[in-house]
Amino acid sequence: MAEALLIVDVQNDFCEGGALAVAGGSAVVPVINRMQADFPLVVATQDWHPAGHSSFAASHAGAEPFSTVEMAYGTQVLWPTHCVQGSEGAAFHPDLETDRVALIVRKGMDPAIDSYSAFFENDRETPTGLAGYLRDKGVTALSVAGLATDFCVAYSALDARALGFDVTLATEGCRAIDLDGSLDAMMGRMRGSGVTVA
């Protein structure tokens, strides 16, 4: 088994009508469903925040969503409350096929640290365990799709490259938030790290 598909955060809160909706987010679902048949291994991530997570604007008196604060691990965007553990918003999109998903990595569970990447929390030190799982399965290459291109997808792709995996970004299966030019910036970083953009 050399190649796997990583599905990132295709959850209700990131799709139309959700608390942190990505424009056109649900459009990735049929694309990702078709892609799954092409891979011997499929893994997925879920944002899975406890209520009152430190990355929520509501957890900081007077803070507006999409403003930033300095955390112990660096600058953190403050998000609308989203993907709270066990909520409907945290559930996978109802049309996402999950029968072939072998592993679900839930991230952002530490109330003090946000987690964009499928591989590390935002302190850049705490691993999720996904890299070891993939290596144990003999995976050397990953295709990445999901939400959002310029945050959780990009950080997952960059970390996968840094960990030695060959990485392909399946752009048809992604949509972006594009916060203050973040899409162009992160696409540049991914290309610069050796991510193949397909």
**How far is it between the farthest Cα atoms of the chain?**
50
Q: Is 180 a catalytic residue?
A: no
Q: Is 15 a catalytic residue?
A: no
In the numeric block, which tokens belong to residue 82?
Answer: 């989203």
Closest CA to 112 of 58, 82, 72: 72
Closest CA to 175 of 46, 66, 31, 33: 31
Options 15, 83, 152, 174, the catalytic residue: 152
Q: Is 99 a catalytic residue?
A: no
Q: What is the identity of the amino acid at 82?
A: H
Options 9, 13, 47, 159, the catalytic residue: 9
Instruction: State how far the Cα of 119 lies from the Cα of 96, in Å rounded to an integer.
Output: 22
Options 13, 47, 107, 150, the catalytic residue: 107
Catalytic residues: 9, 107, 152
